[in-house]
Chain A
Amino acid sequence: MYRYDELDQAFVDQRVAEFRDQTRRFLAGELSEDEFRPLRLRNGLYIQRHAPMLRLAIPYGLLSSTQLRMLAHVARRYDRGYGHFTTRQNLQLNWPKLAEVPDILAELATVQMHSIQTSGNCIRNVTADHLAGVAPDELDDPRPYCELIRQWATLHPEFTYLPRKFKIAVTGSPQDRAASEVHDIGLHLKRGREGDIGFTVLVGGGLGRTPVIGQVIREFLPLPELFAYLEAILRVYNRHGRRDNIHKARIKILVKSLGIERMREQVETEWQASRAGAPRLDAAQVQRVHDFFRPHPYATLPDLDVETGREPAFQAWFRYNTRAHRVSGYRSVFLSLKAHGSVPGDVTSQQMEAIADLADAESFGEIRATHNQNLLFADVRQERLYPLWQKLQLLQLATPNIGTLTDMIACPGLDFCGLANAGTLDVARQIQQRFDSLDYLYDLGDIELKMSGCMNGCGHHHVGHIGILGVDKHGEQWYQITLGGSANGFTALGEVIGPSVPQAEVAATVERIVEVYRARREGDERFIETLQRVGMQAFRQGAYASHPQAA
C-alpha cells in the first residue's frame, strides 16, 4: 500500500497544526460558529445530535494493521471504544470531544492517517472497488489512480470551496463494485487502441434528494490528461454550479440543466484552453505510486477443496463470506460487520485490535473497508481459511450473511445524526430478528437492502434492491420503501412502491415483499431478476396485503 514520503508527512503535520490553531481560536471566541463550521467540516468534524462526530479518512478503504490498531486506540482513548464504518469506506467516531480532536488528528498523523476533506463542500475521499488488485476480472488496479487523485485533490487551492461536496470513484473491473455511476465523477479504467491506460469518464451521478445516474462525458481519457480533465470539470462546476440552493448545488443539477452535450462542450473547451497550465501526470509519477501497489509476495500454491468434510456452518461461511482470488491457493475473506443484533458497520476497539493481529498473521497486514460496511482480508491462503473462520467466529465477525438480506447498509439514523428524520438502527434490529434463520436467508439469496434515515441518502437506499427511507410524519417515524434499485453490476434507481409504513411494520412489509419473490421466482432467478420480469405491481400488492395502517 501507499507509504507517505516527506511531503505527505509534512502536509498532514502542518494540517494538524492548522486545525489545532483553528480549534483554539474557536474555543477562545475569535472565530464564530459560522466561521468555524466550514473549517471543521473540511477536517471531518460535524456537530451531531449528542456530540461532535469525527469522520476519519480511509483512502479507497485500504488500511494497514498498524493503522487499524491506531483507530482502536483513538476510539478507546477519545471515544466510547467503538467506531462506525460508512459507505464511503471511512470510519466515524460518534462521541469525541471537540477540544481533543486536534490530539486525535495528531495521533493519526503518526500512522499516516487524517480526516482531511471527509466532509464539507470540497473533493471527498476517493473510493474504489474493495476487491481492487485481487479481483479475477480486473483490467488494472484502480488504487494507484485513487492515490494520485487523493494527492491532487488534497487542499487544492482552486477547489476547496465548491458549491457542494464532490465525490469521485474509480473502478478497474467491468463489474462495477464501487457504485461509480452514482458519483459526481465515475472513472472506469479502459485500454486505448494502443493498449495505453485511460478512463471512461462519467459525470453527474449522485444519490440524495435527486438521485441521478451519471452520464458518459468522455469515452476515453488518456491517463496523462487525468488531472487536466478533472480540473476542467471542476472548474466548470466551481464557476457555474448553483450556490443559491443547497439542494440544487451538486454537479448533477448543473449537468441536468445544461444537458450532457453542452456540459461536454464546456468541459472540452476549458480542457483545451487550460491543459498547458494544469498539473502534468508523467510516467515517473505514475510509476512511483504504482510501485506501492505491486502484488504481494504470494506463495505458489494449488487451489484446494477446503469444504469437503467440514461442518455445514463452515461451508456456508465459505460460500457466502469468501470470494475468488486471481492467484491460485488464495481467497478474499469478508468480515461481516452485520452480526444479528449489532449495528451495521459498528466495530469495537477490541475487535479492531484482534482484526489487526489476524491481518498480520493471515493477509499481509492489510485490511480493507468495503462500501457495504464490512471489512475484507483480501489475500488469505486457502489452507488457513478453516482456522481463520474459527477465530472470526469468536470475534462475532463470521456471520455468514454477505450478500444476503441482513448484510444491509444503514446510516446511523436518528440515534446519532443531526440530519436524520427517522431511526434506522431499530429497524435494522427488527429485520435481523425477523430474518434470523440462515436457511431462510440463503433461500432468498442475493438481496441488497439499503436504508437511510433521511432523504440525503447516506444509506444508498435508492440503489438497494429493497430501499428503505425514513421520513418524519408529524413527529412520527415512517418508512418509504423502494424496489428495483442497484449499484452492483448495473446501476438503477429504485421505484417507490406506495404509501410509507410505520416503524413497527417495516420488517413485516419486507417479509411480504420477499414472499412475493419466493412465490413467483423461476429456477434460480435472483430477487432483482424476478422483480424485473414480473414487474412492480405484484410486489406492490404483496407488500400491502393485510396492511390497513399504511397512510
Chain B
Amino acid sequence: MRHILRQRDWIADPWRYLGEPDAGTPQHPDVIVPLAQLRGDPGHWAAPPGGRLGAALAVTDAPEALSDLLPRLALVAVEFPNPGDGRGYSQGRILRARLGFRGELRAAGKGVRLDQVFLLARCGFDVLELADGVDVEAARRALGRYRVAYQPGDPQVRLERQRFFA
C-alpha cells in the first residue's frame, strides 16, 4: 500500500489515481485525475458524494490551466520524473504564490528523493510521495535540513533567519 509523508506524518495514502483498481470505490472515493482528462470534461469530474477531487499535472502542463477549477480541487499532484527535472518546483510556486491554491500540494515520482525534500517543502509541497528506497526518518529530518534561507518560501519550513521577504 502506498504511503505518503504529509507534513511529518507517514500515513497510508487515502487518495487513488484514476485508473487504479479501487479508485472511486466507497472505501477510496478521493480520486486524482490527470489534467487533460479533467479539462476534457470538467462537469463529469464533479466530486463524487463523500469524495474529493484532485488533479495531476505532468511536467509539461501549465498550472494556469487549472485556475478556474482550483476552487473544486482538494489536491494537486505534480510530477517529478527524476531529481534533475526541476519544472515541478515552478509549477508548485505558481499554484501557491500566484494562484493562491491552499489545498494539498503533492510531489510525486522518482525525483522525490531525500535531497529534494527541503526544496520541495520550501516551494509549498506539503505532501510527498517519496521515491522507492527513501528512508522516512531521514526524510523527516531533511525537512529541517537548513534553518536559514535567503529567499521567501512556504511557512511550513520554519526558519531561524531569512534575508529577503515577499
Contacts and interface: CB of A to CB of B under 8 A. Distances in A.
Contacts of A159: 86, 89
Interface string A256-300: 000000000000000001101111110001000000000000000
Contact of A11 (B83, B87, B148): B148
B163 A7 contact: yes
A158 B147 CA distance: 17
A22 B91 CA distance: 27
Interface string A1-32: 00000110011001100100010000000000
Contacts of A6: 161
A386 B158 CA distance: 57
Contacts, number: 100
A126 to B, nearest CB: 13
B84 A10 contact: no
B3 interface: no
A243 B163 CA distance: 31
A14 B90 contact: no
Contacts of A155: 119, 146, 149-150
Contacts of A160: 86, 89, 119
Contacts of B86: 158-162, 238
B155 to A, nearest CB: 13
Nearest to B83: A38
B27 interface: no
Contacts of B16: none
Contacts of A152: 150-151, 164
B145 interface: yes
A39 interface: yes
Interface string B93-123: 1100110000000000000010100010011
Interface in B127-166: 145-153, 160-166
Nearest to B121: A157
B146 A14 contact: yes
A161 B146 contact: no
A18 B157 CA distance: 17
Given A6-B161, A157-B93, A157-B122, 14 more contacts: A7-B162, A10-B161, A11-B146, A152-B164, A155-B119, A155-B150, A157-B151, A160-B89, A235-B93, A238-B87, A238-B90, A239-B87, A277-B98, A279-B165
Contact of A14 (B98, B145, B165): B145
A161 B85 CA distance: 6
A238 B113 CA distance: 20
Contacts of B149: 11, 155, 157
A35 interface: yes
A180 interface: no
Contact of A154 (B90, B150, B162): B150
Contact of B148 (A10, A121, A281): A10
Given A11-B148, A157-B123, A274-B98, A243 B90 contact: no
B89 A238 contact: yes
A280 B113 CA distance: 31
A38 B84 contact: yes
A10 B147 contact: yes
A6 B98 CA distance: 31
B150 to A, nearest CB: 5
Contacts of A278: 166
A162 B166 CA distance: 22
Nearest to A280: B165
A285 B164 contact: yes
B90 A235 contact: yes
Contact of B97 (A18, A239, A277, A280): A277
Nearest to A276: B166
B11 to A, nearest CB: 25
Contacts of A276: 166
User: Which 7 pairs show the lowest CB-CB distances between chains A and B?
Assistant: A161-B86, A279-B164, A157-B122, A277-B97, A7-B161, A158-B89, A10-B148
A159 B122 CA distance: 12
Contacts of A243: 85, 87
Nearest to B122: A157
A18 B145 contact: yes
Given A162-B86, A277-B98, A279-B152, A157 B119 contact: yes
12 contacts: A6-B161, A7-B150, A14-B147, A159-B89, A160-B119, A161-B85, A238-B87, A238-B89, A279-B152, A279-B165, A281-B164, A285-B163
A156 interface: yes
Contacts of A156: 150-151
Contact of B151 (A121, A161, A239, A279): A279
Interface in A129-172: 151-152, 154-162
A227 interface: yes
Nearest to A148: B164
A121 B98 contact: no
A239 B164 contact: no
A151 B163 CA distance: 8
A6 B161 CA distance: 9
Nearest to A277: B97
Nearest to A14: B146
Contacts of A280: 164-166
A158 B164 contact: no
B89 A157 contact: yes
A274 B97 contact: yes
A229 B165 CA distance: 15
A39 B89 CA distance: 17
Given A22-B115, A160-B119, A151 B166 contact: no
Given A11-B146, A162-B86, A238-B90, A157 B113 contact: no
A11 B86 CA distance: 22
A501 to B, nearest CB: 39
Nearest to B166: A277
A275 to B, nearest CB: 10
Contacts of B163: 7, 151, 285
A152 B152 CA distance: 10
A76 to B, nearest CB: 31
A336 to B, nearest CB: 37
Nearest to A122: B86
Nearest to B153: A157
A273 B164 contact: no
Contacts of B93: 157-158, 235
Contacts of A7: 148, 150, 161-163
